[in-house]
Amino acid sequence: MARQTFDIEAQALREVRDSLGEAFTAAVGAMLSTRGRVVVMGMGKSGHVGRKIAATLASTGTPAFFVHPGEASHGDLGMVQPGDVVLAISNSGESDEINAVLPALRRLDVTLVGMTGKPQSTLARHADIALLCAVGQEACPLNLAPTASTTAQMALGDALAVALLDARGFRERDFAQSHPGGSLGRKLLMHVRDLMRSGEAVPRVAPGASFSELVHEMTRKGLGATAVVDGPQLLGIFTDGDLRRLIETGADLRALKATEVMHANPRRVRADALAVDAAALMEQHRVNCLLVVDDDDALVGAINTNDLLRAKVI
C-alpha cells in the first residue's frame, strides 16, 4: 500500500506537469506584475496546503499571506485589497466557504486565480485564471481522503514560487534577507565586523616589547595570539603555536623581543568581509585566528574560530 501510494502520487505529479500551459504562465505573470500581495485561500486540507504555499511564496520574494475563507466572510476579507492576486484552492471547486466570498472578491477588483481539479466547477468558471491540477485518483483506497490531489496542489504551488523567484532574479542573498535566523542567513549576512574583537579586547604589543610582555598580553586577552604593531600599523603576529615551537628549541626566551619572534605579513581579513569567508581563509591556511585590518592596513580587530563557532557560522 505504501509503494502504491508513491506510484499514484508520482503519476499525479506527472499529469499535472504535462498539463501546464498558458494558464500557468498567466498566473505567474499576474503575481509578478501585481503591486499588491498574493492572498492564498483554501478550506480543509487545501487550506493546509495553502498556508504552505503562502509561506513559500513569501520566503522567495513574492509577498503573500493566507486568509481563511470562513473567516473572510466575517471580516477578514478586509485584508484583501484592490490590485491583490487571490489564489483560491479547492480540488472540487465547490467549497462553500470560498464560493461565498467570490462575489465580494469580484467587487474588490482583484485577479482571481483558481487552483482546482474540476474545469467546470464554480471556482474555475469565476476565476480570471484557472489552474487545473486534476488527478486520476487519490492514493486513499476509498478514493476519498485528499492525498494525491493535495500533493499535486503543493507541487503546483512550488512550481509557481520557483518560476516567480527565477523571474525576479531572486538569489541566495535575497533568500538570506528573509531568513536571518537560519544557517544560510548567518553565512550570507554576518560580517567579520559583527563578530570580531575590537578595542582593548585585541591583544597587541609594540615592536620592542620583551618576550615576557608578549606572552603576558597573549595570555591576558585569551585569543591564542597577539599582534605586533607600530602605532596602528600591523607588523606581525605571534601565536601560542609559535611559543611551543620556541620552547622546543631551547632558546633563551628572556632576551628575545617581539620583532624577533613574530611572523611578518600575517594572514588578515577586512572588517567588511563575510564571516563565512573568514572561516574559509582559516581553514585554507590552517590557522585559528585572523587579524582584522582596514584599508590602510591598520589593526582594527581580531577574530578566531571560537568567535565563529559561537555565532554558528561554522
Annotation: binding site:
68
Q: What is the CA radius of gyration of the chain?
A: 30
Which residue type is seen at 165? L
| CA–CA distance, 309 with 314 (Å, rounded to integer) | 5
Whole-number Cα distances in Å, 254 to 171, 229, 257: 56, 20, 8
Which residues are known binding-site members for Zn(2+)?
A: 68
Helix axes 240-249, 211-221, angle to 10 degrees: 140
Residue 93 to residue 41: CA distance in whole angstroms: 12
Query: Quick one: CA dihedral 280, 282, 285, 290, positive or negative?
Result: positive
Q: Minimal CA–CA distance to 67: which of 37, 96, 91?
A: 37
The 3-state DSSP class for residue 264 equals: strand
* Separation between Cα atoms, residue 135 and residue 116, nearest integer Å: 10
The whole-angstrom separation of Cα 193 and Cα 25 is 44
